[in-house]
């Protein structure tokens, strides 16, 4: 084979040619050394050139970060054309100037490495996105772990979608998060490392998916009656999301709320119409109490599980308002045929739901004597219009 005439071209011309290719082909062609390792320095230069040339969508994920970090260029903070920025396992340096990304609407940052003032760096980056609508933050690595509990501030007047996630064991120290986003429609928080989560101005919030225990470890640091600070944190968070209409809540949250409900009432969610919740047999005492905080609930989805802890009884004498006035659709998943605690939950619902129209029950094991089971539920149901459907 003769000499590689393409490589002999000027770097500026090669860059222009590569920018015309699909991103995967361009990166595969230009970033690898002869030994097969990706070069962190050609990468940085390539990204810088791409930004200078007016790229709109930048998506970079480094697979192998065992021995080196891959730095992004500083002009990534000054792009006038970027609309979507998705970075994973790269290093972001701290800009000592005002960040300006006037067109950026989508930003996903996953497992990002930061140097000193990393949380402040993230805050500056968010503030510099004047039209940001979709923000996804996943398990970033911050070198400034000297601060006991730093605060990650997410402030945006344009943000509509926000996700915060911390992989178990990935975060090195506890921190707090503050979300101030008056136009936010959807928020997902899957983070058991945050010491506190503060929410402000979430009047537009429509749907929330929460999986956090507010750093309450029942084995080592349980929620105590005299822990007024933690109680205030939980109360303020629940009050801050109280206008939500659709909620998905994990079993981690319910464990905290179960203890919290013994100390003070759970705030009301008057607008909540759709609830998806994970309940175990050891927390059934909370079931009517939690439904009592959702007076206008219309649809309920329960993912049921049998706990190794002692089962609890439902207070059959307390009937929340939604069962007698608004709840018309219930789905209960992961039931076990004739398992006593699960059956108690089903009986409580069908015996007290006045306007229930549909009851779907899904079993983890094959359902024997399906007709007998359905006849029993039909006999005890309070709503005559309710249709019972069994699946396995």
Angle at 280 between CA 274 and CA 283, to 5 degrees: 90
Amino acid 185: pLDDT: 98
Amino acid 71: pLDDT: 87
What angle do helix axes 370-380 and 340-352 make, rounded to 10 degrees? 40
Tell me how far CA of residue 80 lies from CA of 83, 86, 129, in angstroms: 9, 16, 11
Amino acid 369: pLDDT: 67
Amino acid 29: pLDDT: 54
Residue 42 — left, alpha, or beta (φ > 0 → left; ψ -120 to 50 → alpha)? alpha
305-322 pLDDT, tens digit per residue, is 988 888 788 888 999 999
Amino acid 36: pLDDT: 44
Amino acid 149: pLDDT: 54
Amino acid 328: pLDDT: 96
Amino acid 294: pLDDT: 97
Q: Work out the mean pLDDT of the chain and round it to a whole number.
A: 84
Distance, in Å, from the CA atom of 100 to the CA atom of 262, rounded to the nearest integer, reads 48
Extract the residue ranges of the chain whose pLDDT is less than 50: 1-2, 30-37, 143-146, 170
Angle at 126 between CA 77 and CA 202, to 5 degrees: 165
Amino acid 65: pLDDT: 60
Residue ranges of domains in the chain: 268-392
Tell me how far CA of residue 274 lies from CA of 201, 206, 210, 391, in angstroms: 22, 10, 14, 22
| β-pair partners for 311 | none
Distance, in Å, from the CA atom of 200 to the CA atom of 240, rounded to the nearest integer, reads 6
317-367 pLDDT, tens digit per residue, is 999 999 999 999 999 999 887 778 888 899 999 999 999 999 999 988 776
Amino acid 382: pLDDT: 87
49-102 pLDDT, tens digit per residue, is 889 989 999 999 887 665 567 889 999 999 999 999 999 988 888 888 999 999
**Using a CB cutoff of 8 Å and minimum separation of 24, what contacts does 95-104 make?**
95/121, 95/124, 98/124, 98/128, 99/124, 99/125, 99/127, 99/128, 99/129, 100/128, 101/77, 101/125, 101/128, 101/129, 101/130, 102/130, 102/131, 103/56, 103/79, 103/131, 104/79, 104/129, 104/131, 104/132
Tell me how far CA of residue 4 lies from CA of 7, 16, 24, 298, in angstroms: 6, 18, 21, 68
Choose among 156, 167, 158: nearest CA to 125: 156
Distance, in Å, from the CA atom of 345 to the CA atom of 68, rounded to the nearest integer, reads 54
């Amino acid at each position: 084979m003769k000499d590689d005439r393409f490589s002999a071209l000027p770097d500026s011309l090669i860059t222009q040619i590569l920018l015309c290719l699909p991103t995967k082909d361009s990166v595969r062609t230009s970033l690898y050394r002869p030994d097969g390792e990706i070069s962190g320095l050609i990468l940085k230069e390539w990204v810088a050139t791409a930004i200078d040339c007016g790229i709109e969508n930048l998506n970079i994920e480094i697979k192998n970060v065992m021995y080196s970090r891959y730095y992004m260029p500083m002009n990534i903070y000054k792009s006038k054309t970027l609309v979507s920025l998705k970075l994973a396992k790269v290093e972001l340096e701290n800009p000592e100037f005002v960040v300006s990304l006037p067109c950026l609407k989508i930003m996903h940052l996953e497992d990002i490495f930061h140097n000193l003032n990393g949380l402040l760096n993230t805050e500056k980056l968010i503030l510099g996105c004047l039209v940001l609508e979709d923000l996804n933050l996943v398990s970033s690595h911050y070198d400034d772990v000297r601060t006991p509990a730093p605060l990650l501030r997410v402030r945006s007047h344009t943000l509509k979608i926000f996700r915060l996630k911390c992989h178990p064991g990935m975060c090195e120290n506890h921190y707090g998060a503050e979300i101030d986003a008056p136009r936010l429609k959807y928020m997902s928080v899957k983070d058991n490392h945050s010491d506190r989560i503060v929410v402000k101005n979430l009047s537009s919030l429509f749907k929330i998916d929460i999986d956090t225990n507010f750093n309450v470890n029942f084995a080592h640091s349980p929620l105590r009656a005299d822990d007024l600070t933690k109680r205030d944190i939980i109360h303020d968070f629940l009050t801050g999301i109280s206008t939500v209409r659709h909620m998905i809540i994990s079993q981690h949250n319910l464990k905290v709320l179960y203890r919290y409900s013994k100390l003070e009432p759970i705030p009301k969610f008057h607008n909540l119409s759709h609830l998806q919740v994970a309940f175990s047999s050891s927390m059934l005492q909370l079931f009517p109490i939690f439904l009592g905080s959702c007076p206008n609930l219309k649809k309920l989805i329960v993912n049921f599980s049998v706990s190794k802890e002692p089962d609890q009884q439902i207070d059959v004498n307390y009937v929340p308002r939604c069962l007698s006035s608004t709840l018309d659709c219930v789905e209960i998943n992961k039931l076990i045929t004739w398992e006593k605690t699960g059956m108690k939950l089903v009986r409580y619902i069908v015996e007290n739901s006045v306007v229930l129209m549909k009851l779907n029950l899904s079993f983890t094991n094959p359902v024997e004597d399906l007709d007998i089971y359905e006849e029993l539920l039909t006999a005890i149901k309070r709503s005559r219009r309710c249709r019972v459907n069994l699946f396995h």
